[in-house]
C-alpha cells in the first residue's frame, strides 16, 4: 500500500472521545462535498453496539452514512459489526472472533483507491484498540489519510482536544483541522464561546468551525434536515474542495 497515494483521496474523522458526534460531522461533510461535485463515499470500517434486526446486525451510524453518500447497502460502509457497545478489541474477544488487521487494511485501501474521495470515520477516540496491539491511530497511519478532529465544545474540550492533537503530532499524522460539535440545544455558555479560540492558540491547528445543534435531524430515519446548510454556514471546508 502506497500511503502517499491516499493523501488527496480521503479524510479520516477521529473523535476526542466517544459520542462526540463524529457521524453527524461525517454525514454533513459528505453531503456538502457531494453537493459541490466531489463524488464522496463513506467508510466506517468497524461499528460496535449494533442491534439485532432482520437476522443481522444493524448499525444506525452505517445507515446514516450510507444515506449521506447515496449508497444502497450500508454493509458496504461498515462491514465489521459487533453487538456489544465496547471497543472493537473487547467486543470481538467477548463475541468469540478476532479482527484480521491485514484484511482490514486491504479492504480499506481498496475502497479508498476505487473511489474519488472517501470520508472514513473511526470508532471512539484515537487510542481505542482495534486489536490488543493495534489502535485507531495505527489504522490512520497505515492508510496515510489526513485527519479532522471532532470534539465537544463544552467543559473538558480543552483537555480532550489537546491530548488528541498531541497524540496525532507525536505520530506525525497530518491534522487538517478541528470541528467542534454542539450536542445540546441550550444557550451558549462562556466556556463554549471561548474554548475554540483557546484551543487554536494552544495547538496551532486550524479551527474549521463549530457545528450548531441541529434540531431537525432524524438519525433513525436518515433524514438530514438542515445539516448541509448548517455545515456550509459554519464549517470551513475549502481545503477539501
- Give catalytic residue positions: 44
Query: For residue 31, what are the CA distances in angstroms to 26, 67, 115, 223?
Result: 9, 9, 16, 12
Question: Nearest Cα to 112, choosing from 228, 238, 236, 2?
Answer: 2
Backbone Cα Rg of the chain: 17
Q: Write out the H or E segment, with its range, that includes residue 56.
A: strand 56-58
Q: Which residues are within 8 A (CB) of 232 and not within 5 positions of it... i.e. 6 or more apart?
A: 32
Question: Nearest Cα to 107, choosing from 144, 146, 127, 79?
Answer: 79
Q: Which cell numbers hold the place of 45?
A: 470500517
Amino acid at each position: 500500500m502506497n500511503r502517499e497515494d491516499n493523501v488527496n483521496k480521503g479524510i479520516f474523522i477521529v473523535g476526542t472521545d466517544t459520542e462526540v458526534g463524529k457521524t453527524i460531522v461525517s454525514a454533513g461533510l459528505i453531503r456538502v462535498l457531494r453537493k459541490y461535485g466531489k463524488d464522496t463515499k463513506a467508510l466506517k470500517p468497524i461499528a460496535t453496539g449494533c442491534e439485532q434486526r432482520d437476522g443481522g446486525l444493524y448499525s444506525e451510524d452505517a445507515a446514516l452514512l450510507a444515506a449521506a453518500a447515496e449508497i444502497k447497502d450500508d454493509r458496504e460502509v461498515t462491514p465489521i459489526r459487533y453487538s456489544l457497545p465496547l471497543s472493537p478489541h473487547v467486543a470481538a474477544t467477548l463475541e468469540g472472533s478476532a479482527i484480521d488487521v491485514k484484511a482490514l487494511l486491504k479492504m480499506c485501501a481498496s475502497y479508498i483507491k476505487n473511489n474519488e474521495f472517501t470520508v472514513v470515520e473511526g470508532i471512539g477516540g484515537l487510542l481505542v484498540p482495534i486489536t490488543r496491539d493495534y489502535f485507531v491511530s495505527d489504522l490512520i497511519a497505515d492508510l496515510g489519510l489526513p485527519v479532522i478532529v471532532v470534539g465537544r465544545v463544552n467543559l473538558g474540550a480543552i483537555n480532550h482536544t489537546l491530548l488528541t492533537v498531541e497524540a496525532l503530532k507525536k505520530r506525525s499524522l497530518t491534522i487538517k483541522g478541528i470541528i467542534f460539535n454542539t450536542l445540546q440545544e441550550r444557550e451558549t455558555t462562556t466556556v463554549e464561546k471561548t474554548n475554540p479560540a483557546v484551543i487554536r492558540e494552544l495547538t496551532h491547528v486550524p479551527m474549521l468551525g463549530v457545528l450548531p445543534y441541529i434540531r431537525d435531524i432524524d438519525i433513525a430515519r436518515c433524514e438530514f434536515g438542515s445539516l448541509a446548510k448548517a455545515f456550509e454556514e459554519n464549517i470551513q471546508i475549502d481545503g477539501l474542495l
